[in-house]
Amino acid sequence: MDLSIRVSRIVAAVFILLIQVVSGSFLFNVTHKFAGKEKQLSELKSHDSFRHARMLANVDLPLGGDSRADSIGLYFTKIKLGSPPKDYYVQVDTGSDILWVNCAPCPKCPVKTDLGIPLSLYDSKASSSSKKVGCEDDFCSNIMQMESCGAKKPCSYHVVYGDGSTSDGDFIRDNITLEQVTGNLRTAPLSQEVVFGCGKNQSGQLGQTDSAVDGIMGFGQSNTSVISQLAAGGSVKRIFSHCLDNINGGGIFAVGEVESPVVKTTPLVPNQIHYNVVLKGLDVDGEPVDLPPSLTSTGGNGGTIIDSGTTLAYLPQNLYNSLIDKITAKQPVKLHMVQETFACFSFTSNTDKAFPVVNFHFEDSLKMTVYPHDYLFSLREDMYCFGWQSGGMTTEDGSDVILLGDLVLSNKLVVYDLENEVIGWADHNCSSSIKVKDGSGAAYALGADNLTAGSSVINGTLVTLLSILFWVFHYFTS
């Protein structure tokens, strides 16, 4: 599988995500949506703003019994759909619950993009394995109120996002073809039937030419998500993990049970749309930081969301102020605002030696240690900015919300175990390897630097997975 990404003034970043399933591995080539393009700091924050508007929006069609929202996503990958299989580029998102692609005919779907990829419309008539999904289908009964869906009518969806973007169309059943690892560095195509949305009309940010792709592939908790459908078909367990290296580049995205490193876990808050966990404490080098009560209670809808689709780390205003005060008390610096968003300062010494670590403490004694190289990024050689952001985010009941994105999730293996309703992480060298069990219980090492894609053989190097720190440095240096 060859990748060709244009290089402009800045080195383009190419990602490969390895997905290990119960009976083998699936390989995706994933690219950062901003690769090869100069972006302003405001656009980094703008991405998260669009995502959060969607995350917290109500939708008029519940999926899997819960409200859901898609995001524009930071990454996109190429998958194959239909018979014969054809390529489609879709955003990868742990916060959404369905796979959908733009379908023909679609007069309002995007026809071009600034990402340097071709856009395609899925055509059910051109696929010999496609099947319509009607209101009587079990899949449809899981996502729709049946009184709104009559006999012999198509199973439809219509999603309205908080930023005004919409996606609507009908569901269809067809094959998804993935590259499954059948042995050490060997692969073969594996097809499984899944249900996905056939979008006929996308509006708003979803259709913008600077970031348009063919659709979105969700890895959310709902039974309508890709991972849940693959699990129902016996191909995978509902366990996946990612490991992003923001120092050397490189990374892994794996589906399957991780044997090593050993990962401690904390319970997921039940009946939530996103991956919510309960925060019990926060400290800066051992000195406690006071938390809003709603963050430490399971009674509200607040708490902490682990979200790989968010770039930065967002805290309630008072907590943000307290955290910055604690950090700068231990390492005094003169802060100034860049683009009215980022707290920055001049510094010429080693930040890891000079600045304190920040520890988040979660239920069941799970700790997340965030090191200075995780929460600081360099604008230039002598200037750094905090990745912490004042989110000002609350739920409808007024509860505070923390969102922890890629900046603080880097350099950790993060495991989402939906089988046991827990999430966990462990500090890890994400340029090395992990071990994942297959269906027989055998464990195979999966490295961040030992795989490339051939036709049916995997025998090369996993191309660099761009980290947030590396990306911010290169794309925002003037």
- The Cα–Cα gap between 87 and 458 comes to 19
Which alpha helices (H) appear in 18-116, and where do they start and end? 41-55
- The Cα–Cα gap between 301 and 309 comes to 20
Beta strand pairing call for 86-93 and 287-288: unpaired
Q: Where are the beta strands (DSSP E) in 5-98?
A: 14-21, 24-32, 75-81, 86-93
The answer to whether 400 touches 393, Cβ cutoff 8 Å, is yes
Check if 307 is active-site: yes
- The Cα–Cα gap between 262 and 69 comes to 32
Residue 395 per-residue DSSP state: -
> Angle at the Cα of 364 (from 363 to 366), degrees rounded to 5?
80
3-state secondary structure of 262: coil
Q: Is-cis flag, bond preceding 84, omega within 30?
A: yes
- The Cα–Cα gap between 167 and 200 comes to 8
3-state secondary structure of 138: helix
Which H or E element spans position 242? Answer: strand 239-244
* CA-closest candidate to residue 351, choices 322, 320, 328: 328
Residue 458 per-residue DSSP state: B
Spot the catalytic one: 48, 70, 93, 374: 93
Residue 341 per-residue DSSP state: T
Q: What type of residue sits at position 228?
A: S
Q: Residue 369: which region, alpha, beta or left (left: phi > 0; alpha: psi -120 to 50)?
A: beta
Spot the catalytic one: 307, 374, 406, 449: 307
Catalytic site positions: 93, 307
